[in-house]
Amino acid sequence: MYCGPENSTKWAKELNRNIDLKLDIKKQIDALVKWLASFDTKIIIQILGGEPTYSYNFYYFLEQLKNSNVIISVTSNGNTVNKTIEKFLKIINSSSREWHIGLSNEACGELAENIRYGLNMKRFENNLKLYLNTSNVTRLVFSPTMNAFNVKNFHEYIKLIHSIILSTNKEKELTWVGNWVNDGPIGFDCKHLPKHFSSYIDKAIETMKNTSKDLNIDNNSDVYSWLNNMKKRIQDHDENLNIITNYLDRVSHIKPLLNKQILLDQLHD
């Protein structure tokens, strides 16, 4: 996965695709905003990525929504640089609406920076604290994508996130909404791991329960259902580490700064 602004066009090069970085969709945005204004009830607008905070059209959309009554939910990789996040937070703080921020990550430290190529984990943690201290951000949604390389240490990520929240603003509403690599790239899928790796999911479940007791967390049942689905996914498929290592061999030629060894270490106890 790519997570740095300097890597924002590399996926297109890998797929031999041409993308228009200055695509002007103002007319479409204006039409959408006009349509949203026709609703009498409060609605939630979910903005996903790529990374929306680097999109020119994202800020135009927010400006057009300035006087609307919608709740805006933005999913970010949490890697936004200082100048850009200051711009985004200024918009959030100047509004009177609710904002929900989703953060896509699933590991800690150097491991996270190699799973999400281009991620700066220190920046991610700093941005998390900024969102926690922003009163108009009423909810944080943690959106990890389970994969072959984070299962072993996912409990450490849960522990890190909950410790930051506990020490920064434990009253902030939060939830976990997990996903998993399913339809590609095939070498990222946790189903290829050894069956006994399902025990690491048990460890994650235990950590989630033990570290969330003093937090304002909701939808726990969905969290545990998702984690149990991951456990079942590992148990129901045959181990095939060759698929994972072959995938790493390919991407290591494309991503020269990738620490292949730290990813390989996640495949063994």
Which residues are within 8 A (CB) of 48 and not within 5 positions of it... i.e. 6 or more apart? 75
Q: How far apart are CA 99 and CA 247, in angstroms?
A: 38
Phi, psi angle pair for 235, to nearest 5°: -70, -30
pLDDT of residue 6: 44
pLDDT of residue 11: 45
Distance from the first to the final alpha carbon of the chain: 24
pTM of the model: 0.89
Q: How far apart are CA 47 and CA 98, in angstroms?
A: 14
Walk me through the domains of the chain, giving residue ranges and CATH numbers.
5-267 (3.80.30.10)
pLDDT of residue 50: 76
Three-state DSSP class for residue 30? helix
pLDDT of residue 167: 98
pLDDT in tens, the chain (269 residues): 444 444 444 545 555 556 565 677 899 999 999 998 888 888 899 998 779 999 889 999 999 998 888 999 999 999 999 999 999 999 999 998 999 999 999 999 999 999 999 999 999 999 999 999 999 999 999 999 999 999 999 999 999 999 999 999 999 999 999 999 987 788 999 999 999 999 999 999 999 999 999 999 986 568 999 999 999 999 999 999 999 999 999 999 989 899 999 999 999 99
- Fill in the amino acid letter for 104: S
- What's the DSSP call for residue 72? E
